[in-house]
Structure 1
Amino acid sequence: MDLATLRDTDPRTLPDCAEAYEQLAADFRRHAEDWQCAVLDRTTRSGWLGTAADSCRASLRQTEERVIAARTELLRISATLRSGADAVQLAHTELVAALAEAHDAGLSVSSGGEGGMNCPPALGPARTDAERHDPDVHARHADVTQRLRAALAAADATDLALAEQLAGFTRAATDGSGLTTRAFAPDPLAPVITAPDLLAGALPPPDAGPAAVAAWWRGLPPEEQQRLITTRPDLIGNRDGLPAAARDQANRLLLRRYLADYAAHSWLSDADQAKLAGFRAIQDRLDRSGGTPPVFLYGIGDQGQGRAILSFGDPDTATNVSTYVPGLGSELRQVGGKDGDRALSVWQAALRADPGRRTASMVWLGYDPPPGTDRLTLETLDVAKEDRARAGAESYDRFMAGLRASHQGPPAHLVALGHSYGSLAVALAGQRPGVGTGADDIVLIGSPGTGTDSAARLGVTADHVWVGAADNDPVTYLPDPLREARGDRNARWFGKDPASADFGAHRFEVADGPSGSFAAHSNYLDPIGGNSLPNIGQIVAGHPENVRSQPSR
């Protein structure tokens, strides 16, 4: 598809066609109901018996199946046209917006299939030699060119996919296969209709980086952004790189859908009951929140054990952003409960440390922590291997890159905070080659190890790695039996003790906590848990000079 074709396309035509097919299907349904009442029901209840009666009823059942299949095919065509219409409208909107920006910048656009642009600009007032060589002008030229080509590529892909679908409907109508029996809903005259998701294919591909997603979003007019949020929150709410406000609006819509869908089931597995309880707890938290700080539902999903991200404060405008990852035994409902409380406590501690700086404190449950209690022991660690943390590390890195991409103004001071098994996920994220968390500081509390023996391998310099380890927290002493047998007293379950001098991180002061129990493991983010939370507040606020240190082990 060339530029002129897409530019001059009227996106309203496909929805009109889809509506026509829907009307035809509705008319066909009335015809089918009349036929069923006048012929099928009368014959079935007539009391007619014998070979001829059996043959007649078999023929009528075949006719009924063909009638249902025909109406189903009409609805499938309509659904496909609507899906294509959404994708074409998006590409058309992207193209028109890019053309308008090109015009405002004085750039002339050729009408060929490449969507190429001439430079120096031919539109608008004459440019000076200095402007012709201005790198900002060339950067804008490159950006608009890329957007034009992306819109054309998306439209072309949609056109090909839609043509293939319609050709398939034509073949089915020609050879009669469109009238064969398919899977029906309980009501045979109200079949479940599915269609290819052409709109999803028109968005940046799943492997597009958050920066590319952010640039694509910024190029959309506000009314198109709002249309996507409202009509397809599933494509917007969890896309890293999109603004917090857009994600929050989309995810609140998604949360209501999850609540309705899960509550509508007459029977739920234990896992689904846990998700429903989690969705309800998060909705309750949102209902109770208000004022300061504003709460954003940054992510929600029912994958695995459930996904949720809450932000206390706007991460797109905050000077300091903390991202807390909970550990073993964390459940979806706790995002609306104790883990949400912990993130809020971090926000409050950072505010006390520096009231003049905006802070956003987030809780990130974007992975499946090992199930069970939040107590790491030699027994529970049998199921707490690195696999879940490594899977979470990739998602966490992408999430952090999304925070960078959507942020407004100067870059934020970004702090990665991991507790217990969550500290392993954060540390493994920092160790991913060429990626890392993108954080400026990493805080590890109650950590059973990081998967490495050196703070310098976590994606930041060692002086930006902070460790809180209570002396009475048994989790921070869980040994690696093999390495301990070789004389390494600092060996822990997932590597060297992060609180040891050999690891090379800053150890900050925390309360020892009560001995002989796991209470010390849960005090780090508790407002009455000693100096731990105030120290974390100073780190998040960007005041490392105010952190009270504690000798390494």
Structure 2
Amino acid sequence: MAVQWGDLAGADLGPLETLRDQWRGYVDRLEEYGNVLAEDVAKHLGEDVFEGDDAVAARARLDRFQTAVTGDVLDRAAAIRDALADQHDALKGELDRHESITTEAGNAGLSIAADGWVSLARPEQTVMGVEETEAQQQLIIDTAAAAAACVEAFALADAQLAAALNAAWEVPSELPMPIGENPEMQDIPTGPEHVADWWAGLDPMERDAYLEAFPDLLGGLDGMPADARNTANEATLEREVDALDAEVDSLERQLADMDARGVPEDSAERLMLQEELAAVQAKHDEAKGLQTNIATLEEEGKDVYLLDYSLEGDGQAVVSIGNPDTADNTAVHVPGTYSELSNFGTQMNRADTMYEDALKAAPDEETAVIAWLGYDAPDSVPQASNPQQAHDATGDLSSFMYGLEASHQGGDSHTSVMGHSYGSTVAGDTVRTYEGVADELITVASPGTSANSVEELNIDEDHVWSTTAEGDAIELPQDLGLLGHDATNDGFGGNEFTSDAVGADGGQIHGGYWRDVDENGDGEPDRPNEARSNIANIITGNTDKVGLVE
């Protein structure tokens, strides 16, 4: 499709600027790799310190890497960097000229249509007070010629950029990457145990290569170490935030252009653009909010890992406070109805509260608490009356739990899966469907576990824990039994632990298990909810200290 005058008005060079800067950084890193190989690695593989067949093979491989880094790959990467920089400047120059021509035409009483057609903005008036028709025509002709030249130059710069990039990418298929071997997607296995074994078998350079090539895939791959998933997800999220920033800017400029053109407030064109801007802005705020919530916890000195996320639909996120790969105790908290990325900060705060409580319960042990919104939670109470969304989540939750086991270092970790409200239906259905998911199952304010008794669960009843505070609004759904029995139901089995009813009504009590108790009624917290200390003792394995309902 040919470039037209109107296309330049909405042209956004933000993504090109980001790409240019990324390639500048890539070339800088390649040069650094080359220096490391030449100055640091080579001296440790010299003939004077390393002999034999292995030494010869190692030096040969080093030579191949060095040739790739300092030769073909670096040359081609530099060509891409230079093409992006040069053509960005050329495109920016034409956009500036477009703005200048538009301004001069407006001052002269001319209008330039999207296809480049120039006419009098108000045909009944002369231009700039010039009465002669020939002068008007000549001004229109000159403006049209300037606009056409601008469009032509912009299209040429765009084509030259594409040609330069295509030429730079004509790399022989056998050429190795500058670090490790060429990463291939088909080499990445499936299944948490296979993923963990595959990752453990890669050397550091190969791992870097895969993380750079496939961050979207590796960030959510169960069985990958927490630090690697975090690295991949933080990079991907940052790129998405930058892209959303650019999209918001572009849409705002288009609305500003509508203001300048006097497009009516109630026009379909404006309303559609406003709706699109609102949707993009909401996604941007969700992504930025996730970054901010993580940064807040990190500023408190906590190790935080972004183990997965998605901006699709209502959004999803999986965040760990503490490193589950090295933790003695790991708890996974599954939230319930109304949970989405826009309010995920609440779930992170609850995970943080449980993390702090666990440190007090077991100060000599390392604990990780994970907020797991890895499923599409119900958006309403009627939706939450259906077990389908919980059942749909069981495969993802079980895979995640198996992945924690596969990537854990230095012996077994004591694991708990905990669900609040509809999240307990997800957790219960997962433990009912899959074996060996966790050491402990904890349900808080559960409308039902999808099971009718503890005997239907793949876990011993001594390790099933539940609580519902008196007056919790969940009591009505519990009585209906649409999602199976909750674990506090008489005859279900397991252990029912104590909790305080914190809140003025059933709805507040339902979310009050992590809030402090105001015993004196003076508005000041007097002590934590009993549920908190009980949950902390369960997830740290101090079950003899759990307060049980008599």
TM range (shorter): 0.5 to 0.7
CA RMSD across the alignment? 4.4
The residue aligned with 1:305 is 314
Which of 350, 357, 366 aligns to 1:358? It is 366
1:518 maps to 2:517: no
1:97-496 to structure 2, matched below 5 A, reads 201-205=185-189, 208-230=190-212, 232-264=214-246, 265=248, 266=252, 268=276, 272-289=280-297, 290-336=299-345, 338-372=346-380, 380-382=381-383, 384-432=385-433, 435-436=434-435, 438-478=437-477, 491-496=480-485
- Contact conserved, 2:180 with 2:209, CA < 8 A, in 1? no
The residue aligned with 1:541 is 540
Task: Please give the TM-score of this superposition, normalised by the length of structure 1.
Answer: 0.62
- Contact conserved, 1:14 with 1:81, CA < 8 A, in 2? no
By how many angstroms is 1:26 displaced?
A: 11
CA distance in 1, matches of 2:172, 2:472: 55
The residue aligned with 1:550 is 549
SS at match of 2:394: helix
CA distance in 2, matches of 1:21, 1:350: 51
SS at match of 1:296: strand
Task: Look up the equivalent residue of 2:541 and give its one-letter code.
Answer: G
Q: Mean alpha-carbon deviation: is it higher for 219-228 or for 15-24?
A: 15-24
By how many angstroms is 1:419 displaced?
A: 0.5
Task: Look up the equivalent residue of 2:508 and give its one-letter code.
Answer: A
By how many angstroms is 1:442 displaced?
A: 0.8
Which of 88, 93, 106 aligns to 2:180? It is 93
By how many angstroms is 1:351 displaced?
A: 1.3
Q: Aligned pair in 2 of structure 1 residues 75, 419: CA closer, same or farther (>3 Å)? A: farther
Aligned length in residues: 408
Q: Which runs of 5+ in 1 are unaligned?
A: 1-5, 31-43, 46-62, 95-154, 156-198, 373-379, 480-489
CA deviation vs aligned residue, 1:166-189 (integer Å, no higher than 9, x gap): xxxxxxxxxxxxxxxxxxxxxxxx
- Contact conserved, 1:468 with 1:507, CA < 8 A, in 2? yes
- Contact conserved, 1:22 with 1:74, CA < 8 A, in 2? no
CA distance in 2, matches of 1:252, 1:454: 42
CA deviation vs aligned residue, 1:105-147 (integer Å, no higher than 9, x gap): xxxxxxxxxxxxxxxxxxxxxxxxxxxxxxxxxxxxxxxxxxx
CA deviation vs aligned residue, 1:377-418 (integer Å, no higher than 9, x gap): xxx224652222222221111111111111111111111011
SS at match of 1:467: strand
The residue aligned with 2:7 is none
CA deviation vs aligned residue, 1:323-345 (integer Å, no higher than 9, x gap): 11111111213323x21110011
- Contact conserved, 1:217 with 1:242, CA < 8 A, in 2? yes
Task: Please give the TM-score of this superposition, normalised by the length of structure 2.
Answer: 0.63
SS at match of 2:465: strand
CA distance in 2, matches of 1:422, 1:534: 20
- Contact conserved, 1:328 with 1:420, CA < 8 A, in 2? yes
By how many angstroms is 1:286 displaced?
A: 2.5
By how many angstroms is 1:498 displaced?
A: 1.9
SS at match of 2:324: coil
Q: Mean alpha-carbon deviation: is it higher for 417-426 or for 393-402?
A: 393-402
Task: Look up the equivalent residue of 2:314 and give its one-letter code.
Answer: Q
By how many angstroms is 1:274 displaced?
A: 3.7
SS at match of 1:518: helix
Q: Aligned pair in 2 of structure 1 residues 415, 75: CA closer, same or farther (>3 Å)? A: farther
Q: Which runs of 5+ in 2 are unaligned?
A: 1-59, 90-116, 119-151, 253-273, 518-527
- Contact conserved, 2:501 with 2:513, CA < 8 A, in 1? no
Q: Mean alpha-carbon deviation: is it higher for 15-24 or for 258-267?
A: 15-24
CA distance in 2, matches of 1:349, 1:365: 21
- Contact conserved, 1:467 with 1:507, CA < 8 A, in 2? yes
Task: Look up the equivalent residue of 2:417 and give its one-letter code.
Answer: A
CA distance in 1, matches of 2:80, 2:530: 68
The residue aligned with 2:129 is none
Q: Aligned pair in 2 of structure 1 residues 11, 391: CA closer, same or farther (>3 Å)? A: farther
CA distance in 1, matches of 2:334, 2:510: 15
Q: Mean alpha-carbon deviation: is it higher for 273-282 or for 443-452?
A: 273-282
Q: Aligned pair in 2 of structure 1 residues 275, 443: CA closer, same or farther (>3 Å)? A: farther
CA distance in 2, matches of 1:507, 1:310: 28
By how many angstroms is 1:68 displaced?
A: 10
SS at match of 2:474: helix
By how many angstroms is 1:437 displaced?
A: 6.2
Q: Percent identity?
A: 30
By how many angstroms is 1:300 displaced?
A: 2.3
